[in-house]
């Protein structure tokens, strides 16, 4: 089968404007352009469009998708298996949120008892799953399964107040980081405050806090490009500065 832009748009639900944009940026080129100037798509492009939509469902940027699907060794079957696995995990996270909503409705409408920590169980489980997917392999290799599982259990059992305080601390750290970075001094008072809050933030989820583990995590923030990208996202050199501030804090405290 061959499709024009309008036919492929109708088939896929993707607008013709979007298909033309995908062609413009080199993400999805038509198989050919006919004598009348119409873009013509073959089954190969249809399959690639499906892959693009799967990747978009996983919130992957168009630039990243282009790099992935145009690799010489790109394998559609392997990609589909990975999509399937990611979508199952996404469904599991949504199921957790839905279950929490259902229990909350029951508690409001029928006075069904609901503990405070249960009100946030879906959100906490979602956060755990996301972190496990992103960093689980490296964290488990570094700290061991028992430690990571104990940390997850501690998070799931957080009270409403602890969960709120933990979330607030995380937000305060990201607000303090650019301010501390401006001093260019990891020994400054604001840098010490930043590191202190980071320690307090960790202790909400770590079963056992230690200076050594804290220092190792700080090193990972720089060594692992995903951690580094997170802390450098809005602050140039943010990951390195946070590491240095933590290391200084651990030496003086």
At 201-218, the pLDDT tens digits run 999 999 889 999 999 999
pTM attached to this predicted model: 0.52
What pLDDT does 113 receive?
59
pLDDT for 120-165, tens place per residue? 566 667 677 777 777 777 788 877 888 888 888 887 777 778 888 9
State the pLDDT at residue 172: 95
Q: Categorize the per-residue pLDDT at 20 as very low, low, confident or very high, splitting at 50, 70 and 90.
A: very high
Q: What is the residue-averaged pLDDT of the chain?
A: 86
Mean pLDDT of 14-39: 94
pLDDT of residue 187: 96
Residue 50, pLDDT > 80, answer: yes
Give the C-alpha separation, 157 to 45, whole Å.
48
The pLDDT of 8-20, averaged and rounded, is 94
Mean pLDDT for the stretch of residues 44-61? 88
* pLDDT at residue number 109: 67
At 32, which helix (H) or strand (E)? strand 32-33
Element (H, E) at 184: none
Residue 114 pLDDT greater than 60, yes or no: no
Lowest mean pLDDT among 139-148, 172-181, 232-241: 139-148
Query: Do the beta carbons of residue 199 and residue 250 sit within 8 Å?
Result: no
Q: Please compute, for residue 100, the number of CA atoms within 13 A of its CA located in the half-sphere on the CB side.
A: 18
115, pLDDT greater than 60: no
CA distance 221 to 238: 10
Q: Is the pLDDT assigned to residue 103 strictly greater than 60?
A: yes
Share of the chain above pLDDT 90, in %: 51
Q: Which pLDDT score, from 0 to 100, does residue 231 have?
A: 92
- Residue 32, beta-bridge partner list: 40
Could you say which DSSP state residue 40 is in? E
């Amino acid at each position: 089968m061959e499709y024009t832009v309008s036919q492929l748009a109708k088939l896929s639900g993707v607008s013709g404007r979007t298909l033309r944009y995908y062609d413009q940026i080199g993400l999805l080129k038509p198989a050919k352009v006919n004598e009348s100037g119409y873009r013509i798509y073959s089954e190969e492009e249809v399959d690639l469009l499906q892959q693009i939509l799967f990747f978009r469902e996983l919130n992957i940027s168009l630039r990243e998708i282009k790099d992935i699907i145009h690799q010489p060794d790109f394998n559609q079957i392997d990609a589909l298996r990975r999509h399937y696995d990611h979508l199952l995990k996404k469904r599991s996270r949504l199921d957790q949120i839905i279950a929490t909503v259902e229990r909350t409705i029951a508690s409001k409408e029928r006075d069904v008892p609901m503990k405070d920590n249960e009100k946030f169980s879906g959100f906490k489980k979602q956060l755990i799953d996301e972190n496990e997917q992103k960093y689980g392999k490296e964290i488990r290799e570094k700290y061991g399964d028992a430690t990571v599982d104990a940390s997850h259990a501690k998070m799931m059992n957080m009270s409403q107040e602890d969960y709120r305080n933990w979330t607030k601390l995380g937000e305060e750290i990201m607000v303090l980081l650019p301010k501390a970075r401006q001093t260019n001094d990891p020994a400054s008072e604001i840098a010490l405050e930043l590191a202190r809050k980071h320690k307090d933030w960790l202790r909400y989820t770590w079963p056992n806090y230690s200076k050594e583990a804290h220092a190792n995590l700080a090193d990972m923030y720089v060594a692992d490009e995903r951690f580094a990208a997170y802390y450098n996202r809005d602050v140039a050199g943010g990951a390195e500065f946070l590491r240095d501030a933590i290391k200084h804090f651990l030496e003086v405290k």
